[in-house]
Amino acid sequence: MNDSLASNNRELDGALDGIEGGGVLYVVATPIGNLGDMVPRAVEILQSVNLIAAEDTRHSARLLSQFSITTPAISYHDHNDAHKTDQLIERLLGGDNIALISDAGTPLVSDPGFRLVRAARQRGVSVVPVPGACALVAALSASGLPSDRFSFEGFPPPKAQAREQWLSALAQETQTLIFYEAPHRVLACLEAMAKVFGEERSAVLARELTKTFETIRLAPLGELVEFVRQDANQQRGEIVLLVAGAPVRHERVLGVEAERVMALLLEELPIKQAATLGAKITGVKKNALYQWGLEQKSAQ
């Protein structure tokens, strides 16, 4: 056994001991489609704990069987079962190690788990994340939209009027916006986004990520509406919607000449080098030029 693997095993053994004899709550990410995305550490944890708390044990059965995981599993929905939360906390305090998994992806990201994790921390139970697949991160990484600033907004309201009002409150946000949406509502949601954000705003439909019929399409919202309207297959499966942020309303603070110089430099140089050289040419502070360059890049 090499030193790195031995060190990893020692860390796992130590974590399984918990704090002062108590158990450990593991928050374990699982694949969002392709079972090949299951990380080895997650398999080891799920095989080693005393109990798996799953969003839906029937859904998780295939995953557990695939990796020869025979650990007992129970269904857990913390939003409507406070009694079961208390039972799990008592087991953790008694020394059991428990893994929390959702149907797919990272628990707590629009999935159950928040109340259990909060209760565990309030009672002094060690909570350990086991990272892995996450639909919103996967979609963002392949979207082509700015990723330096983004916000996850979850599921839009299902009713038309509430959805439109909710989107209106986000219309001027300048970061990339990420949403989950149910397949039977995706067309209505895109239509509302085109109305509120404008048909020319860039957006991405990311559907069935890592699965056979994966779709990632970048287009203005108006075009995405037509794409989904004309192809019923795009209204099926797991869906992530990403929308470019609103253009930055930049108040001129550098002066016309400094902005002209920076614009020319940015055509050939990275932002940091452009700001350094621009400061020497214009006399404007490098930090101000650098910030201006970042704003221009994010607005593109």
Low pLDDT (below 50) residues in the chain: 1-7, 10-19
CA dihedral 122→127→133→135, nearest 10 degrees, is: 0
Segment (H or E) for 61: helix 57-66
pLDDT attached to residue 125: 97
Give the contacts of 56 (CB within 8 A, at least 6 positions apart): 75, 103
pTM here is 0.76
Half-sphere exposure of 26 (CA within 13 A, CB side): 29
DSSP 116: H
Segment (H or E) for 229: helix 221-230
Q: Does some domain include residue 248?
A: no
d(CA 84, CA 67): 27
Q: Does some domain include residue 63?
A: yes
Rounded to an integer, what is the distance from CA 218 to the centroid of its chain?
Answer: 18
Answer yes or no: do 114 and 145 share one domain: no
Q: Does some domain include residue 249?
A: no
Answer yes or no: do 47 and 116 share one domain: yes
Answer yes or no: do 239 and 260 share one domain: no
Nearest partner of 121 among 211, 194, 24, judged by Cα: 24
Q: Does some domain include residue 251?
A: no
Q: What does the pLDDT look like over 19-64, one tens digit per residue?
A: 456 899 999 999 999 999 999 999 999 999 999 999 999 999 999 9
CATH number at residue 238: 3.30.950.10
Answer yes or no: do 153 and 123 share one domain: no
Containing domain of residue 272, as a range? 256-299
Written as six digits, the tokens of 34 are 């392709």
Answer yes or no: do 75 and 197 share one domain: no
Cα distances from 169 to residues 109, 193, 194, 234, in angstroms, run 22, 12, 14, 27
